[in-house]
Amino acid sequence: MPFESFPFVIGWELTLACNLRCQHCGSSAGQMRTNELTTDEALTICNQFPELFVKEVDFTGGEPMMRKDWTTISRHLTGMGITTKVLTNGILLKPDIIPHMKEAGISGVGISIDGLEKTHDRIRSRPGLFKEIMAGIALLQKNDIPASVITTANSLNIRELPALMNQLIEHGVPQWQIQPVFAFGRVLESPALRFSRDEYLMLGKFIHDFSPQAQSEGLTISPADSFGYFTGLDTREPPWGGCPAGWVSCGITSDGRIKPCLSLPDVYTQGDLRKRTLWDIWFDETAFSFTRGFARDNLGPNCSSCDMGGQCKGGCSAMSVGYTGSFHNDPYCFHAICGKNQPVLKRT
Amino acid sequence: MVSKPSIHVIWQNTVYPWWWKVAYLILHENFGDLVTNPVDEAFGRAINAHVNAYLNKGTMPPTEIAATVMNLADDVMAGRKMTIRAGDYIAVQNYMKKTAAGK
């Protein structure tokens, strides 16, 4: 059957330049890429989105707001009815940025907070950043710009999540996305950040046990990326159905290449927007084959004997590749850790 | 003359709503299993021309999009709202791109 889906959500690495050097950065961001897109090239790419029914573009990086024309790109997209959001480390959230955010028409800002003050500032290698970010969140709230918090959970901050939750509630943060750390980029130089299996299980239990309390106090906790699968700890409905990269989403690098997911290394590039259109790359019969062409035989040793393997397809692609070097072999899995003692949810 | 059609692309069970929550770093709105999207003006004009030519002049559409055009013509004749499935939308876009490139 021919492929018939569209990239509804695109993650766009506007620049790889960053004003931080975070220990857990999977992109090893810092310096911009050597040949990043010009404004005209970026706008030309934007013009290709409507025919592919792109609904939302999430600007990431590096630090996306370091790119001087980010508001121009955002405004161009919102003018075509496409939602834009910005994922930021928070340093630039000062009063002078607010008019630009309003002008850009963004629908929300995701701000990274990776633990309590001491841990966050240590991971981000910038003393005082935590306080700056909290002030930035207050600034966004004051100006009616929706702000959510994103935490990359790791071995250093996993035990701080309950206390961090309370702080976010106190600051009136409505949404908190939590995702486990990947083994790419600088994480390879900081093995202490990586989860043990027990710590990964702690993450599942925290989200499961604390979400109702958080919800009752106005904070929605949302697990993302590699979180699951098929146990009572992961009760999202409908349950996981395989990596969405290349099915309903993709990533654009700052030099115009298409990746299934920005978390994956550049070696998984599927095409170059300087040479081909997004339409041609997206519908190329050979593109995104690791997800689109999945067969149960592709499951790696971590997943091959799993009763849910056919539906799960081996979990998160980035987690699987980062920790095992191959797709469909995600080692972080509640179902595997817990065995069959947890109730298995089946797709209905 | 057939009135200008109101064309919508409809996906049937091809969109999995949970993906919107895990695909990237910010929460996304849920989508239902059936998603309707407006198509762009150029696409609508092209389809309109072929459907009109088929219904009013008996002109057979190009092979690549014949099934799509005739299905839409059936919708018109039956008084139904014209709908086009995702696969047919892709086929028509590919045809338009090919003809625009002079291939």
Express each pLDDT in A97-140 by its tens digit. Answer: 999 999 999 999 999 999 999 999 999 999 999 999 999 999 99
CB count in 10 Å sphere of residue A45: 20
Cβ–Cβ of B40/A11 closer than 8 Å? no
Residue range A302-316: mean pLDDT, rounded: 93
Q: How far is CA B93 from CA A39, A53, A261, B9, B48, in A?
A: 27, 13, 25, 12, 14
- Out of B20, B24, B37, name the one closest to residue A53 (CB): B37
Band of pLDDT at residue B34, cut at 50, 70 and 90:
very low
CA-closest candidate to residue B65, choices B42, B39, B45, B46 = B46
Single-letter amino acid, residue A138:
A
- How many angstroms separate the CA atoms of A223 and A211, rounded? 10
Sheet strands (E) in B1-103: 8-12, 34-38, 83-85
Lookup: tokens for A12:
């766009």
pLDDT for residue B71: 87
State pTM to two decimals. Answer: 0.90
CB hemisphere CA count around A232 (13 angstroms): 8
Cβ–Cβ of A175/B27 closer than 8 Å? yes
Least confident of A251-260, A318-327, B44-53, B59-68: B44-53
Place of tokens 């009135």: B3
Cβ–Cβ of A53/B22 closer than 8 Å? no
Asked whether residue B42 carries a pLDDT value surpassing 70, the answer given is: yes
Q: Convert the pLDDT of each residue in A172-231 to its tens digit.
A: 999 999 999 999 999 999 989 999 989 999 999 999 999 999 999 999 999 987 888 888
Single-letter amino acid, residue B62:
P
Least confident of A207-216, A323-332, B26-35: B26-35
Residue range A16-21: mean pLDDT, rounded: 97
- Out of B9, B23, B86, name the one closest to residue A9 (CB): B23
pLDDT for residue A184: 92
Mean of all residue pLDDT scores within chain A: 93
- How many angstroms separate the CA atoms of B90 and A182, rounded? 35
* Contact residues on chain A for B16, CB-CB shorter than 8 A: 238, 241, 244, 248
* Contact residues on chain B for A174, CB-CB shorter than 8 A: none
pLDDT for residue A344: 42
Lookup: tokens for B39:
């198509």
- Out of B19, B87, B93, name the one closest to residue A248 (CB): B19
Asked whether residue A304 carries a pLDDT value surpassing 70, the answer given is: yes
Cβ–Cβ of A224/B20 closer than 8 Å? no
Helix ranges (H only) for chain A are 39-46, 70-79, 98-104, 117-124, 129-142, 161-170, 197-216, 278-282, 289-292, 309-312, 317-324, 334-338
* Contact residues on chain B for A237, CB-CB shorter than 8 A: 18
DSSP, collapsed to helix, strand or coil, labels residue A215 as helix
Mean of all residue pLDDT scores within chain B: 67
Share of chain A above pLDDT 70, in %: 97
Q: Report the gap between the CA of A11 and the closest CA in chain B (Å).
A: 7
- Out of A4, A51, A60, name the one closest to residue B25 (CB): A60
Q: Report the gap between the CA of A225 and the closest CA in chain B (Å).
A: 6
pLDDT for residue A240: 85
Q: Which residue has the higher pLDDT, A139 or B92?
A: A139
Band of pLDDT at residue B36, cut at 50, 70 and 90:
low
Asked whether residue A347 carries a pLDDT value surpassing 70, the answer given is: no
- Out of B22, B26, B93, name the one closest to residue A85 (CB): B26
What residue segments make up the domains of chain B, in order of their start? Answer: 41-102
Closest-CA residue of B relative to A150 is: B25
Closest-CA residue of B relative to A149 is: B26
Closest-CA residue of A relative to B21 is: A224
